[in-house]
Chain A
């Protein structure tokens, strides 16, 4: 039992933080979502997507990577490339879009490969122009819809236990992304309630605000450690529990973070919406918390 990074993991985390510094603290002004292309290119060139394959670093460093990148304003496809791709289709071109239903798909329009989860198999699609129709959205990710014609072109992915592995590492990545987005949203909220004064004091000094933010901090820390644990153990039940807990937490905190920013949080000028709308996209992925908890129950106690 050891909650610290190993020395190689710490070195990797520090190197990543150094590399990401220039994407941090940039002024953000956005009408919809930002472009993540520069950040994505930087990660691709430096080979960070393969971090989990290094035996000294493993899934723990992959999770740290996803969390650190998801904290940043530009949205990039990181979780699927870092956690799912090495296990299911390492040679396939990235970015990846993960598709489960007929609804909006994150990173669809920029993906070069789509993995489609059906009831009992994983279908792979080499994405061609026009396969995804971009959606106009307030949400902080580029969202697109897979056309029926493209879906029909997908072929089964030949890999041992592909449906199980896709679900497990999709869940772990989702939980890591929620951790990163919650961290940035909480930080933004703490900054705001510390400087915003009403009734002659910072609103962050009111106990009503403090207690809800303290509870959010507990949810965030729990999400973080459940995610690292799931990555470290490789147990499907741990992955489903982490994802369910994360989505449940995202639902609970997203409202409060907006509430405490007051009307300032409604503006596009303020970056808060990047994090909260990221959380609001993620809390429905894979069918939402109830579906994840159902999946966890099946893994722990068996199917009904």
Chain B
């Protein structure tokens, strides 16, 4: 048992940090304030990710044949920690890095790979994820968007909602129904967002400007060649794709940074002399460290090539608790941070609201822990 980094891992992290120090502009935190899907951050991320790619730091964990360096699970996570702690300058492209690219590499046709993987590896593609619907959130298999076979392809009708990045994404990883079978009746389509019949409407929200959308699909034609895998294979594919996403974002990394920054502010303001400030700060820090260790435990298993287990659900619950502890600490003891004094703290606050909701309600993870980790009766 060992909780230290290897020299190679430490050097890799330093490379990532040096890159960030070099490439993030002085007003970066004002850019980051408006959420990962805002126009400003998306435009910034398009340039930033291309530089990141040229530095070999965008997809180091991908296979070399697809633009990566066979770097493995820890390199992937180290990049994720540093990027998230910086305010996620990759914007929505983190999804390409974490799961869209790897899923296409695993399940895509040669034509799909040739068309979509290089732009992702080069940092110049923005996707959105067409999963949630008004009637299908955590219960994703209840989705109703219908793909009806027509000559040479499908006609898609339905509605998606809460779709991040839809306003600027050029392609959608879309889940639609080809038959009434709940899980076996689903298929995935790689749908260009310029297709005729797509309407995107932004939903004003608490989580940053331009972040969530409704996407209406009105008789949208998609060629058969845009289907990923077979009809009915979608559930298997997204289970693979999202197995790692329960702890895909190292959210505790920004939480700890904001906590540290807030405590240092409170020291200067004289509030650190209050016992409750110190105690609550350390309590939140312990929550961040707990989330970090339980996430690392999952990465350790992934790095050994072990299959995903309910440990990732345990990690996710700890991550949600950590973000909440820090967001609550800031709101309680340093409200000015959320009223203009600290844009990155506001960005953290907004992202923390989504922590237990994005990727499915955290309560679903509690169900999984109960039945798969504790073996409680169903």
Contacts and interface: CB of A to CB of B under 8 A. Distances in A.
A197 to B, nearest CB: 10
Contacts of A205: 376-378
A225 interface: yes
Interface in A211-270: 211, 213-215, 217-218, 221-223, 225-226, 228-229, 232-233, 238, 240-242, 244-245, 248
Contacts of B366: 210-211, 214-215
Interface residues of A, number: 53
Interface majority SS (helix, strand, loop, mixed), chain A: helix
B1 A210 contact: no
B4 A1 contact: yes
Interface string B290-303: 11011011011100
Interface in A258-304: 289-290, 292-294, 296-298, 300-302, 304
A294 B278 contact: yes
Nearest to B283: A293
Nearest to B301: A3
Given A217-B314, A301-B263, A210 B282 contact: no
Contacts of B209: none
A301 B297 contact: no
Interface in B104-118: none
Contacts of A202: 377
Contact of B282 (A193, A244, A304): A244
A6 interface: yes
A244 B286 contact: yes
Contacts of A190: 374-376
A193 B275 CA distance: 40
Contacts of A210: 366-367, 370-371, 374, 376
A194 B3 CA distance: 36
B282 A296 contact: yes
Q: Which of B282, B294, B366, B373 lies at the interface centre, i.e. has the most chain A CB atoms within 10 A of its CB?
A: B282
B373 to A, nearest CB: 6
B314 A221 contact: yes
Given A214-B366, A214-B369, A226-B286, A3 B300 contact: yes
A201 interface: yes
A4 interface: yes
A181 interface: no
Contacts of B282: 240-241, 244, 292-294, 296-297, 300
13 contacts: A1-B4, A3-B300, A6-B1, A205-B376, A211-B363, A211-B370, A215-B317, A218-B314, A225-B297, A241-B285, A292-B282, A293-B281, A301-B264
Interface of B: 1-6, 9, 74, 260, 263-264, 267, 272-273, 275, 278-283, 285-287, 289-291, 293-294, 296-297, 299-301, 314, 317-318, 321, 363, 365-367, 369-371, 373-378
- Pairs of residues from A and B, 8 with the lowest C-beta to C-beta distance, nearest first: A210-B370, A222-B290, A293-B282, A214-B369, A297-B278, A296-B282, A225-B293, A245-B286
Given A1-B5, A1-B9, 18 more contacts: A4-B1, A5-B1, A190-B376, A202-B377, A214-B370, A218-B321, A222-B290, A222-B318, A225-B294, A229-B289, A232-B2, A290-B275, A293-B279, A296-B282, A296-B285, A297-B281, A300-B282, A301-B264
